[in-house]
Amino acid sequence: MFHKVLVANRGEIAVRVMRTCREMGIKTVAIYSDADRGAMHTRYADEAIALGGHTAAESYLNIDAVLSVLDQSGADAVHPGYGFLSENAAFARSVEDSGVVFVGPPSETMEKLGDKISARRTAEEAGVMGVPGVSTAIDGPEDVAAFGSAVGWPVAIKAAYGGGGRGMRVVDREEKAPAEFAAARREAVAYFGRPELYLERYFSWPRHIEVQIFADSFGRVVSFGQRDCSCQRRHQKLIEESPAPGLTSEVQRAMSDAAVRLARASGYRNAGTVEFLYQDGEFYFLEMNTRLQVEHTVTEMVFGIDLVELQLDVAAGLPLSVTEGECEPRGHAIECRINAENVAGKRFFPSPGTIDLIRRADGVATRTDAGYEDGDGVSQYYDNLVAKLVVWGADRDQARRRMLRALRETEIVGIDTTIPAHLAILSHPDFIGNRHSTRWVEESDLDFTALDLPAASRTILIEERVSVIGAELTEAADDV
């Protein structure tokens, strides 16, 4: 097993990986930018080494800087977490070439599947049907117009090396193609350092279902059930749950079989997630994420396993300790991503700032994975995920009710958060009845002016309303 692991990430996922390393007796090394000096993940690690810079490009995406820290650290493994360099094949290859173990798939496999265009081709070769689209990079808006005319509008422009909704634009008519193409390319370069884009059909009311797979070096591949990630805003997930509700046993088996088949065809190793769109009883391969997912926690809750520990075991050359037949879920788990965002009017505006107070929920089968503590600052430079709140229940409705209780117990003062949105979503009849889709949050009648907020958050909301009313009265008086 490893002696020391460099965690090439920050925030919640860095702390989460370090916790498992600590349980396994493995020392950890944190990296940090100038903006993250003294951040929670640097305090939790056994040692922390500076990268320099403030923006992601200057720090956590700076391969040379990260490799320099790796050389200083003496670590014998690198865990990339998710985001940043986690799916960067060049980084993985550089780590491998230095004689250090990359906790993830081999770089050549990452190249094959991390590029969404190449992943589509690999899926086709494995007999896994993909979302109708093109398997080559597009050159300009004229390609978007031609595709839309052929398959119908709307269509999705997507970054070939993207994920998490970044570098994606939905085009509903031809005249919008030039602007949306340019915007997608700008995001693709800014977030992933690559300009390649491709096209897919955009479904009218799909659900986003994914399968967690694991593969070792001995040819064993297992799947750990399905997760539903359909509650999204701007193509980024808000709530995830496992098992995915409402799927027949036949669809569940077919999805798992397709995911395992794709993993075998690509020579996969370690943790990966195969994503599908599901609509009208049919599912289509969307992409494969060659890393740990944000929502891996719900799988851990229903299967009773530590996926990071499993990652480290497989990376160290150990065989998987479970077989496909032994992987049976128990109960139901739900995760809410608590982001620093103002949800008023469904705008989800970023809300960076200092957290004056963070009080975690407690109780039966309740888990909070946070990357911040009292006094920590949420930076404008990085993803604004503050914490993940996860609960387990004997069934979906118990998990939903338990999550509502846990959300009301969670108090975060100093910044706006997505908690009002979670409360509204989990209380809505469409969510309860499993009638939602990836477009539901933005197109439904959801009201995020939640009154049933944690006490500290409610106080802030009241103060903001009083301030707004006071300003309106002042303006009215001025008009008179």
Cα 278 versus chain centre, distance: 19
Q: How far apart are CA 77 and CA 97, in angstroms?
A: 12
Which one of 207, 291, 337, 396 is the catalytic residue?
A: 291
Q: Which residues of 408-423 are buried (b: 16+ CB within 10 A; e: fewer)?
A: bbbbbbbbbbbbbbbb
- What H or E segment, with its residue span, contains residue 7? strand 4-7
* CA angle in degrees (0–180, nearest 5) for 378-9-29: 115
Task: Categorise residue 65: left if φ over 0, alpha if ψ from -120 to 50, beta otherwise.
Answer: alpha
Catalytic, 227? Answer no
Which ranges of 136-176 would DSSP assign to H, the alpha helix? 141-151
Residue with tokens 């090394």: 29
Q: State the DSSP code for 77.
A: E
CB–CB of 227/298 below 8 Å?
yes
> Hey, what are 323's tokens?
């077989």
C-alpha span between 205 and 168 (Å, rounded): 17
| Residue 68 host element (H or E) | helix 63-73
Question: 385: closest CA among 273, 272, 289, 293?
Answer: 293
Percent helix, strand and coil across the chain, each to the nearest 5? 40, 25, 35
Q: In whole angstroms, how far apart are CA 267 and each of 106, 216, 334?
A: 9, 10, 31
Residue 243 phi/psi, 5-degree rounding, is -70, 160
Strands (E) across 322-439 are located at 332-339, 341-342, 349-350, 353-354, 357-359, 366-370, 377-378, 385-393, 411-413
Contacts from 181-187 at CB under 8 Å and sequence distance 24+? 181/138, 181/140, 181/141, 181/144, 181/157, 182/141, 184/157, 184/158, 184/159, 187/159, 187/162
DSSP SS3 for 288: strand
Catalytic residues: 291
